[in-house]
């Protein structure tokens, strides 16, 4: 597959002395890498020293010449009532949850986020 990736430096090309291309093109096969995140694509390079490169999926603009839509972050916001009647705002985005209750600030998890996930 041929992957066209947005060059993040293009947006700040004024700071570079040399020309920054807007896109990079990489060619290779998708490889399964255990430690790659789901939002990353591992692409083989054909170079035995660096057998693959990791590409952030959100930077990919084209695959095999076909434009890919950037994956929209799904944001969920719910107001959950606590046991003492307080209301907490729970937000979730791409599997990451957040809650405004004191317990969450402390433990990074709470029953409100668990309730909102249902
Ligand atoms: Zn909470």
- For residue 93, name the pLDDT band (cuts at 50, 70, 90): confident
Q: What is the mean pLDDT of the chain?
A: 88
79 C-alpha to ligand 1 centroid (Å): 10
Residue range 29-40: average pLDDT? 88
DSSP one-letter code for 104: H
pLDDT at residue 72 in the model: 63
Q: Classify residue 81 by burial, with Cβ atoms within 10 Å: 0-12, 13-18, 19+.
A: exposed
pLDDT surpasses 80 at 13? no
pLDDT surpasses 70 at 66? yes
71 C-alpha to ligand 1 centroid (Å): 28
pLDDT at residue 71 in the model: 60
- The more confidently predicted of residues 51 and 20 is 51
CA-closest candidate to residue 55, choices 110, 4, 10: 4
| Sequence ranges of the domains in the chain | 2-67, 75-117
pLDDT at residue 45 in the model: 94
58 C-alpha to ligand 1 centroid (Å): 30
pTM above 0.75, yes or no: no
93 C-alpha to ligand 1 centroid (Å): 16
* DSSP letters spanning 53-89: EEEEGGGEEEETTEE-PPPPP-EEEEEEE-TTS-EEE
pLDDT at residue 4 in the model: 96
């Amino acid at each position: 597959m041929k992957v066209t990736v947005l060059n993040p430096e293009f947006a700040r090309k004024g700071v570079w002395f040399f020309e920054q291309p807007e896109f990079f093109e990489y060619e290779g096969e998708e490889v399964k890498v255990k430690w790659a995140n789901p939002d990353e694509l591992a692409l083989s390079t054909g170079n035995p020293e660096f057998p693959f490169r990791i590409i952030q999926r959100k930077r990919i603009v084209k695959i095999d010449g076909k434009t890919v839509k950037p994956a929209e972050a799904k944001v969920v916001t719910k107001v959950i009532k606590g046991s003492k009647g307080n209301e907490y705002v729970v937000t979730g985005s791409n599997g990451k949850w957040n809650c405004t209750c004191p317990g969450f600030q402390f433990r990074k998890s709470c029953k409100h986020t668990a309730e909102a996930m249902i």
